[in-house]
Amino acid sequence: MPQTLLIDDKRHLDGAHIVRNYHDGIAALASQHWDVLYLDHDLADYSGPNGREMTGYDVMCWIEANSEHLPGAIHIVSSNASGRPRMQMVINKLFGRAY
């Protein structure tokens, strides 16, 4: 059974380890190798500097800077019109896909 992680403030996914915010997501990513990551953009986590929202894009930037924690696959589960393409660009870069 694949090791699956969902970082999302609302969704549920049977069989997945679920975390609801940026910091718990980073801790989970750093704790082990994940076969699959499902990632939302809007995490409703305002723990960033000066109350800035920490998003799925921030998670992607962390993965890019810490590529030893790159999951086997990453699936975006967000419908955020501006966040989704930004996240996809990082995924494409990490997995060597054309933009």
pLDDT for 98: 55
User: Tell me: the pLDDT tens digits for 8-52?
Assistant: 999 999 999 999 999 999 999 999 999 999 999 999 999 999 999
SS3 annotation, the chain: CCCEEEECCCCCCCCCEEECCHHHHHHHHHHCCCCEEEECCCCCECCCHHHCCECHHHHHHHHHHCHHHCCCEEEECCCCCCHHHHHHHHHHHHCCCCC
Q: Quick one: pLDDT band at residue 3, thresholds 50, 70, 90?
A: very high
* Mean predicted confidence (pLDDT) in 71-84: 97
> How far is the CA of 58 from the CAs of 2, 15, 25, 42, in angstroms?
24, 25, 11, 10
